[in-house]
Amino acid sequence: MDGIIVSDIVKVYKAKGREIRALDGVSFRAEKGEITSIVGHNGAGKTTMLKILSTLVIPTSGTATVNGYDVVKDEKRVRENIGLVTVSDRLFYYRLTGMENLVFFGSLQGLSISEAKRRAKEVLDIVGLTEWRDTPYMKYSTGMQRRLALARAILTDPPVILLDEPTLGLDPVSARIFRENLQNLGKTVLMTSHYLKEVEDLSKNVIVFKRGKVVAKGDPEQLKSSIGKVYEGKVYDLPHGMEKFVVRMEKEYAVLRLPEREMGKVELYDLKEVTPTMDDVYVFFVEEGIDVAREGRKRGGARWRE
């Protein structure tokens, strides 16, 4: 029953004499042994949420527990119960091999040298890096670096894994290998991602963030059902504000996918009903009224600094 429980979390940052609510009353659960994903626009509060759960940032108010431990009152126990994978490229020492890096970080986390070596061999095998265990980190591809980051996260066999954009920048093969590794762990996983097909394939539960709030949550099928009917059609003159519904251009016209509630705003040709996707869910809940680039700059976000 433990997993992750977040209740009414608020995080306020002060910048240039004003307050920015990065998180505004966020509540959700990530069930034990399941993969849960957070999606949302840049600056929606996704990384801030992971920073709070990993005890790197203290919430302004509200409570959060990880595997039964409070992130403020029991931060040491929380850290013992989590593995963290971020998008930073400064997770490892470049001149050390993959094996040497893992043994070093294992010793920092309280493992004896012999135990760190044993666990390093095990996790390198799990993520498919045994062949490159003695290769310097500087020679690892991006995909190999990300897999080594996962190996480091599971080095002490924590019950909970937190991942921020784990497959960002990976080629399709590396991303597939990473996802397979993740699915085979059998741990409580909370991840952020902009790859909605990946979210749908991996996640038992999805939480949708918008401007620091949870605007929808449920399993992928529930979310797709919740947006109602979705239609696809062609338009020759694209009205202002409808750009977010364009899925492709065909010669002189644009092809749009849009929910039923938007149908009265544009005249479509060759209209047909289509099966909703997670992309449609994202547009429905997140992009309405959002200038993504501006929102990310305005909110500032919570970048990882190692």
Query: Is the same domain home to 197 and 108?
Result: yes
Distance CA 2, CA 67 (A): 5
Mean pLDDT of 174-198: 90
**pLDDT confidence of residue 297:** 42
Do 57 and 159 have their domain in common?
A: yes
- Domain extent, residue 234, equals 227-298
CATH of the domain at 108: 3.40.50.300
CA distances to 10, 282, 298, 300 from 211, in Å = 12, 14, 11, 12
- In the chain, count H helices and then E strands: 10, 14
pLDDT category of residue 64 using cuts at 50, 70 and 90:
very high
- Give a yes or no: residue 179 inside a domain: yes
Give the residues across from 70 on adjacent strands.
Answer: 65
In a domain, 239, yes or no: yes
Q: What is the pLDDT of residues 135-184, one digit of tens each?
A: 999 999 988 998 999 999 999 999 999 999 888 878 888 888 888 888 88
Domain boundary among 191, 218, 245: 218
Residues 47 and 134 both lie in one domain: yes
pLDDT reported for residue 304: 52
pLDDT band at 292 (very low <50, low <70, confident <90, very high): very low
Give the tens place of pLDDT for each residue, 113-140: 999 999 999 999 988 899 999 999 999 9
Lowest mean per-residue pLDDT among 62-66, 116-120, 201-205, 226-230 = 226-230
Q: What residues have CB less than 8 Å from 267, skipping those under 6 apart?
A: 235
Please report which confidence band the pLDDT of residue 303 belongs to, taking 50, 70 and 90 as the band edges. Answer: low
Domain final position from 218, 249, 282: 218
Higher pLDDT among residues 208 and 228, named by residue: 208
Q: Is residue 304 a part of any domain in this protein?
A: no
Q: Please list, residue by residue across 250-278, b when 16 or more beta carbons sit within 10 angstroms of its beta carbon and e when fewer do.
A: eeebbbbbbbeebeeebebeeeeeeebbb
Structural domains in the chain (count): 2
Answer for the pair 44, 67: CB distance below 8 angstroms, yes or no: no
Same domain for 206 and 251?
Answer: no
| Other beta carbons less than 10 A from residue 229's beta carbon | 12
Which one of 195, 218, 241 terminates a domain?
Answer: 218
- Specify whether 193 is located in the same domain as 44: yes
Rounded Cα gap, residues 76 and 55, in angstroms: 9
